A and B are shown apart, each in its own frame.
Chain A
Amino acid sequence: MPQGKVFKYGDHVDTDVIIPARYLNDPSADNMRAHCMEDLDASFHTLVQKGDVMVAGLNFGCGSSREHAPLAIQLSGISCIIAASFARIFYRNAINIGMPILECPQAAAEIQAGDEVQVDFDSGRIRDLTTGKSYQAMPFPPFIRAMMDCGGRLSYLRRQMEGGQ
């Protein structure tokens, strides 16, 4: 069950601040990690540790369709993004690459930066271990869960196509 320290951001965090376009000419993992969140939180890439959780407000990931955005966050070690809402292309991209995301406005409002948070994807339960509070997000529907269990959309699709032949 993923557990980690919270990095907290506001509303309308756009893909240009998650990974600025000036770095997209080199989509290597090292480059993505080094510049993730740079224009919003310059110290993020030095402080983040594997398993940490990102919490944000409304419309997280708005703007460009660059898959580099959820990828950069995933490569940084973030285990789950919790937001009040997500921009739709970011939402799709995150699911497609197997980056867990949960929509939960109450958790997004109350959980504070630095809190220790635990997330259960099976039930959609979010526990703030620092405050002792719990929140309920909608768990993934079965077909999305199946896609994530396969390791993303492509493996899922491949399995389907092979099954059909």
Chain B
Amino acid sequence: MGMTMTQKILAAHAGLDHVEPGQLIEARLDSVLGNDVTTPVAVDVFENAGFTRVFDPERIYIVLDHYTPCKDIASARLCKRARDFARAHHITHFYDTGSAGIEHALLPEKGLVLPGDCMIGADSHTCTYGALGAFSTGVGSTDMAGSMASGTCWFRVPSAIRVHLKGKPGKDVSGKDVILHLIGTIGVDGALYRSLEFSGPGVASLSMDDRLTISNMAIEAGAKNGIFPVDEVTRAYLENRSARAWTACDADPDAVYEQVVEIDLDTLEPTVSLPHLPSNTRPVREVRGLKIDQAVIGSCTNGRISDMRSAAAVFRGRRVAPGVRCIVIPATQEVYLQCIHEGLMDIFIQAGCAVSTPTCGPCLGGHMGCMCEGERAVSTTNRNFVGRMGAKSSEVILASPAVAAASAVQGAIALPSDL
């Protein structure tokens, strides 16, 4: 029986010629990631277990991004705990305020995850790196702690759903619309314990930023990971980012999939997810006119340069509607600087947006844009659970950067073509 991309990477890292779905394996890891929420808990576990050394200080990535720049004394304590640990163990890739960005935008940008890698992160959106043809998945703090010590992790080999993409996305349709549509089709547990493996002629039409957005939200369908094949787009993205050698893993022609889902990009429409589950999707045209109080453009899902460009194209020469707050958050320092160079900052500020330094902030109701009771936001983030962006009765509608920007201008859910 042939293997999927994911199964091949896992087999290679477990030192096995072949793995089967359901098999329990212990795999060697290329890297381990943590942030300011999960690392301090992992450090407690690491130290309480009596570990004194990490497996490789160059392969542990710690990024302070959730409550940073620290929103209060308690979060400053968390950051200090992570910072002290990083110093004590000479962690090479430690990113603090000023050098940090949102972890899942930062790592690809710095070339820290490569095709064929096997890695874990104590953050659920660690599945983002599937876009690069890597196996990456989210875990908790205890796994992070154990893997920082051993450089290994146990996995159950997942079966897979093949997502066959054909056609080419039309105007105002992006990677976000692809993944929201997919989650709406299979549900928030539609890929539970399984891999989402993207393939087909439609892959070539998706930019790396689109793919990163799609893989990022694989977890929102319950998936263990969401992976793309390595192609010219991947190679072009990796150029000059890393000197480390890598090997791509293609799926075997006779790989077995539990299910095949086909998405025709030609007919895909701009899509939103209504409260309170990412699977509660609708075409934007069906929910036009829903009033909003806030728009958030950023996050590990949609804070990359193409997202900023897409929002800026809508804001150019326009203004945020009276009564609406629009918060724009470039995901990394590099994206932030690029926004300045390209004149996007002028456009955002002239449109009446608040532009923030990189942070996860409002996505998880942390800071920089929490909502009170009864308020509603359109947001390019990844989750719209009850209370996600603030009060229990506040609501989040998930959308692409273009739709979020158009909605901010209109004061209600809108398409860029409505303006």
Contacts and interface: CB of A to CB of B under 8 A. Distances in A.
A and B associate: yes
Interface string A123-156: 0000000000000000001010000000011110
A75 interface: no
B365 A21 contact: yes
B235 interface: no
A158 interface: yes
A151 to B, nearest CB: 10
A65 interface: yes
A39 B387 contact: yes
Nearest to A143: B24
The 5 A-B pairs at the shortest CB distance, nearest first, are namely A67-B140, A93-B140, A96-B142, A59-B189, A154-B49
Interface string B42-63: 0001101111000000000000
Contacts of A97: 140, 142
A87 interface: yes
**Which of A25, A85, A87 gathers most chain B CB within 10 Å?**
A25
B141 interface: yes
A52 interface: no
Interface string B73-87: 011001000000000
A95 B317 CA distance: 54
B133 interface: no
Contacts of A153: 142-143, 146
B104 interface: no
Contacts of A155: 49
Contact of B142 (A12, A93, A141): A93
**Which of A26, A59, A96, A161 gathers most chain B CB within 10 Å?**
A96
B106 interface: no
B256 interface: no
Contact of B37 (A58, A62, A66): A66
Given A25-B71, A25-B78, A62-B222, A17 B140 contact: no
A89 B24 contact: no
B145 A85 contact: no
A68 B385 contact: no
B189 A58 contact: yes
A128 B366 CA distance: 40
Contact of A16 (B78, B126, B150, B387): B387
Contact of A26 (B74, B121, B141, B149): B74
5 contacts: A16-B386, A25-B67, A25-B78, A67-B38, A158-B49
B123 A65 contact: yes
A88 B140 contact: no
**Which of A24, A87, A88 gathers most chain B CB within 10 Å?**
A88
A27 B40 CA distance: 9
B192 A64 contact: no
Contacts of B142: 67, 93, 96-97, 152-154
B138 interface: yes
Given A65-B122, A87-B192, A158 B50 contact: yes
B206 interface: no
A20 interface: yes
B385 A17 contact: yes
A88 B386 contact: no
B377 to A, nearest CB: 15
A92 interface: yes
